[in-house]
A and B are shown apart, each in its own frame.
Chain A
Amino acid sequence: MKTLQHYKQTFVDLTYPKWKRVGFDGFEALETYEKATTLIENLSYFTQLGVKIYKVNSEDMDLDDLYYHRFGKELQEIDATNYGVDKKYTSLVESSFNIGHIINVPKGIILTKPLIINYKGGEITKNLYDLTYIHIEEGASANVIIRYGDKEEGRHCGLTKVYVERNGNLQLTKLQDFHPNTIHIDNVVSYVNENSKMKYISLELGAQMIVTNYLAYLEGVRARSEAYGAYIGANNQKLDISYKSLHKGRKTNSIIDVRGTLMQEAKKIFRGDLKFNKGAKGSVGKESEYVILLDKTVQSDAIPSLLCDEDDVVGEHAASAGQVDPARLFYLMSRGFNEKEAKKLIIHGSFSTIINQIQHSQTEDMIESILERRLLHE
């Protein structure tokens, strides 16, 4: 069983990875430890229903008692997968998280309202290293929305671990609108058991350097993962976004659907890994990436991989890139929109199927106003 000490040592032993495509070699992460802050909306609604929500940070919590003792077995299973952008960054969070939550939705509880968690970095250091563990017990269902929106420049490294027991259901949305100079590194790993479903929606709408990784480990029979991502790359932003579906159980199902737009010297690398282990009979995995390119200064790279050790599966992927469809542009402009507005409408249209799934109107409105600002006024 891993302890804080183990993660601290791992962090110290490893060097920062060098990422050539986005040109990022790491940062000095731990000058001073300063707690970050969080706000959960409507907390009482959830606690009344028996949902356990513990606020945590690496300095105050006795993790052996709570985190590792109660969820040790599940955490071990998650640890056996190869999650995260790199062990250097995940161990940074696991050893030195300055805010976080442990959320346990008990057996059979179906939450009809979304659980909204807002995270904000330390006042002085502006560092945000958040660690969230979400445990969905058998037959339970929840919709969790994590929002990051620091208006000042800072550094973010987040890790969210999800364990969905059989017949459970989790929808997790992460929205980030960080300051345009912020470094944003985010890791999500979900372990999905028999007959369960994990839906992940990611909106990368801010920050300067965006490096993210989502891994769904489809362990049990009929486990299902859907991952939807939307991003905007503008103003010299660098994005390295990675989505992995690992099919282990039989008849498992996965979708990866990522859409984005690039302009103003932005640079993006999309990595999609659809992997079928031997034994994942009857499984189906689909991966697609569509990017709208808005000017010739951009760089769009993609590596949509399909790795297959099992013959009785169906794996598909599709990737396409190009400009805004000229016919659509013409039509909108003929209706009185100027070019920028017309492009914004089309891009928004491409994101709308993702945004509509969030099921929280306030969050959706926030996203609309961010899109308006970034696509029309920047």
Chain B
Amino acid sequence: MDKKRTEVADIQRGVYDIKNISAPKYATDQGLTRDIILDISREKKEPQWMTDFRLKSLEIYNSKPIPTWGVDLSELDMDNIITYVRPNTDMKQSWDEVPEDIKETFDRLGIPKAERESLAGVGAQYDSEVVYHSMRDHLIKKGVIYTDMETAIKEHEDLVKQYFMKLVPPNDHKFAALHGAVWSGGSFVYVPEGVEVDYPLQSYFRLNAPGAGQFEHTLIVVEKGAKLHFIEGCSAPKYDVTNLHAGCVELFVKEDATLRYSTIENWSRNMYNLNTKRSVVDKNGRIEWVSGSFGSKVSMLYPMSILKGERAHAEFTGITFAAGGQHLDTGSKVVHAAPYTTSNVNTKSISKDGGYAFYRGLLRVAKNAHHARSSVSCESLMLDNKSKSDTVPIIELSNDNIDIGHEAKIGRISDDAIFYLMSRGIDEQEAKAMIVRGFVEPITKELPLEYAVELNQLINLEFEGSIG
């Protein structure tokens, strides 16, 4: 197959200083071997069960074909997976090697220099390390476990083993299997029964862990009656030379517990973002997803909520912004698997400059899920004639005693609305940005303040230079 190397991949060679590996044909995927996996596991000093788990996942990965639906993965350089996971890889780069547009974005977003360097994979120590430590003590007193995955496997082995990749098993799909084989980094959070964590935990405190970033595994368990707000990842475009992100997020929300999981995914524009996020919610439990997808070249992301217990509830608020060169295939999946469960899905997507936003959703009500109620709303805004926006929701209902509604709408910014704002002295570009900010307002109001500010600034950035 064509091996198209992007400009970024060229930089990759230099940074990693890797000797030329004979690149096998894509079809046989020989890039990833047992030895590599054993190396990874040995390097991490993992217990035997995890090593075995990785090897089994590798077998599954090799046996599965690449999916033929959704985005085009033909340019995904699978041969270089070995490069991503090689244990001796020095992930540090110099600030100078970060592309200009990314450096500029950090400036515009107001991200402090120390954080920038971390987000850029430079991996230096930074000031917030101190803050992190003091937070940590406060949580420990409450019995909350909040640590990186590698540490969690060693220090809380039994707990982690109970949950690890039980919700997203390796045989779920090819990239889940890949994740199972080469996962690295990520967070483990355990909130004991009845504990309410009173401020949001943010995972980018974890970025300076070795090998972090592209295959991180986030595992969160919120025990009965507990409460947590978790904010994933960074909201700045992360400069990452690797072009595949196959992360995994597993959320276990127990009886009467509440978990809010907020993300702004803004990967660099060369990235293939094939992330799997899933939660299972017990009786009276509540999962709230707040999700923003901005970056990456290609994304396939469908956070899924399994409402397993009676009266469980899922809330999903999402925004997808596809600009030129991007194909973002995102959506949400909700499965009502118990009586009296409820869900609310509210998604917005914007496409501009030739971007392609695709909403793909699933709403399934199982046979036993009587009195299930759900309302799904998807709105798509196309900002010009070069873009594409598709909505394909699937609704599968196996019980009659339910109340299900779904609506979707596609359109553009009304000319009347722009005219009105311009007649009030606002220029066209600012008028469009205002309308788009208003369009995404239901999502921004769910985000913590600094993320909302960053989201608005990202929108402004997207609008600058647009022909209008």
Name which residue of chain A comes closest to B352, CB basis.
A311
CB of A123 within 8 A of chain B? no
The answer to whether A319 and B405 have CB atoms under 8 Å apart is yes
CB of B410 within 8 A of chain A? yes
Q: Which of B389, B397, B403, B406 has the most CB of A within 10 A?
A: B397
The answer to whether A311 and B402 have CB atoms under 8 Å apart is no
CB of A39 within 8 A of chain B? no
**Known A296-B370, A311-B387: A316·B409 in contact at CB below 8 Å:** yes
A318 to B410, alpha carbons, bound, how many Å?
Answer: 12
Residues of chain B within 8 A of A22, CB atoms compared: none
The answer to whether B395 and A321 have CB atoms under 8 Å apart is yes
CB of B63 within 8 A of chain A? no
CB of B416 within 8 A of chain A? no
**Contact code string B372-389 (vs A, CB < 8 Å = 1, else 0):** 000000001011110111
CB of B198 within 8 A of chain A? no
Interface of B is mostly: strand
B408's contact among A294, A304, A310, A313, by CB below 8 Å, is which?
Answer: A304
The answer to whether A311 and B382 have CB atoms under 8 Å apart is yes
Residues of chain A within 8 A of B403, CB atoms compared: 322
Residues of chain A within 8 A of B387, CB atoms compared: 311
**Contact code string B333-375 (vs A, CB < 8 Å = 1, else 0):** 0000000000000000000000000000000000100100000
A311 to B380, alpha carbons, bound, how many Å?
Answer: 10
The answer to whether A311 and B404 have CB atoms under 8 Å apart is no
The answer to whether B396 and A301 have CB atoms under 8 Å apart is yes
The answer to whether A301 and B406 have CB atoms under 8 Å apart is no
A321's contact among B390, B397, B412, by CB below 8 Å, is which?
Answer: B397
Size of the chain B interface, CB-CB below 8 angstroms: 33
CB of A376 within 8 A of chain B? no
A311 to B386, alpha carbons, bound, how many Å?
Answer: 8
The answer to whether B411 and A301 have CB atoms under 8 Å apart is no
Which positions 100-130 of chain B face chain A at CB distance < 8 Å? none
A114 to B296, alpha carbons, bound, how many Å?
Answer: 57
CB of A338 within 8 A of chain B? no
The answer to whether A308 and B389 have CB atoms under 8 Å apart is yes
B1 to chain A, nearest CB (A): 28
The answer to whether A314 and B411 have CB atoms under 8 Å apart is yes
A63 to B136, alpha carbons, bound, how many Å?
Answer: 83
The answer to whether B410 and A315 have CB atoms under 8 Å apart is yes
Which positions 119-152 of chain B face chain A at CB distance < 8 Å? none
Name which residue of chain A comes closest to B388, CB basis.
A309
The answer to whether A301 and B407 have CB atoms under 8 Å apart is no
The answer to whether B397 and A315 have CB atoms under 8 Å apart is no
Residues of chain B within 8 A of A262, CB atoms compared: 400
Name which residue of chain A comes closest to B358, CB basis.
A307
CB of B73 within 8 A of chain A? no
Name which residue of chain B comes closest to A304, CB basis.
B393
B352 to chain A, nearest CB (A): 9
A277 to chain B, nearest CB (A): 11
B99 to chain A, nearest CB (A): 30
**Contact code string B404-435 (vs A, CB < 8 Å = 1, else 0):** 11111111100000000000000000000000
CB of A370 within 8 A of chain B? no
B405 to chain A, nearest CB (A): 5
Name which residue of chain B comes closest to A320, CB basis.
B405
Which positions 284-311 of chain A face chain B at CB distance < 8 Å? 293-296, 298-311
CB of B391 within 8 A of chain A? yes
CB of A312 within 8 A of chain B? yes
Name which residue of chain B comes closest to A301, CB basis.
B396
Which positions 265-282 of chain A face chain B at CB distance < 8 Å? 276, 278
A293 to B365, alpha carbons, bound, how many Å?
Answer: 13
Name which residue of chain A comes closest to B359, CB basis.
A306
The answer to whether B396 and A304 have CB atoms under 8 Å apart is no
Residues of chain A within 8 A of B383, CB atoms compared: 311
The answer to whether A308 and B388 have CB atoms under 8 Å apart is yes
**Known A296-B370, A308-B382, A323-B401: A315·B409 in contact at CB below 8 Å:** yes
B403 to chain A, nearest CB (A): 5
Residues of chain A within 8 A of B407, CB atoms compared: 316-319
Residues of chain B within 8 A of A321, CB atoms compared: 395, 397, 402, 404
The answer to whether B406 and A293 have CB atoms under 8 Å apart is no
Residues of chain B within 8 A of A294, CB atoms compared: 400
A323 to B409, alpha carbons, bound, how many Å?
Answer: 25
A44 to B415, alpha carbons, bound, how many Å?
Answer: 54
Name which residue of chain B comes closest to A278, CB basis.
B385
The answer to whether A299 and B397 have CB atoms under 8 Å apart is yes
B328 to chain A, nearest CB (A): 15
A319 to B380, alpha carbons, bound, how many Å?
Answer: 17
A300 to B397, alpha carbons, bound, how many Å?
Answer: 5
**Known A301-B394, A309-B388: A320·B409 in contact at CB below 8 Å:** no
A317 to B405, alpha carbons, bound, how many Å?
Answer: 11
The answer to whether B395 and A319 have CB atoms under 8 Å apart is yes
Name which residue of chain B comes closest to A317, CB basis.
B408
A292 to chain B, nearest CB (A): 9
16 CB contacts below 8 A, A to B, read: A278-B385, A293-B397, A294-B400, A296-B370, A298-B400, A302-B394, A302-B395, A305-B392, A306-B380, A307-B392, A314-B409, A315-B409, A315-B411, A318-B406, A321-B397, A323-B400
- Nearest 3 CB-CB pairs, A to B? A293-B400, A311-B382, A315-B410
What 17 new A-B contacts, CB under 8 Å, besides A296-B400, A302-B394, A320-B406?
A298-B400, A301-B394, A301-B395, A304-B393, A304-B406, A305-B390, A305-B392, A306-B390, A306-B392, A307-B391, A309-B388, A313-B411, A314-B409, A316-B409, A317-B406, A319-B395, A323-B401
* B residues whose Cβ falls under 8 Å from a Cβ of A: 367, 370, 380, 382-385, 387-412
* A residues whose Cβ falls under 8 Å from a Cβ of B: 262, 276, 278, 293-296, 298-323
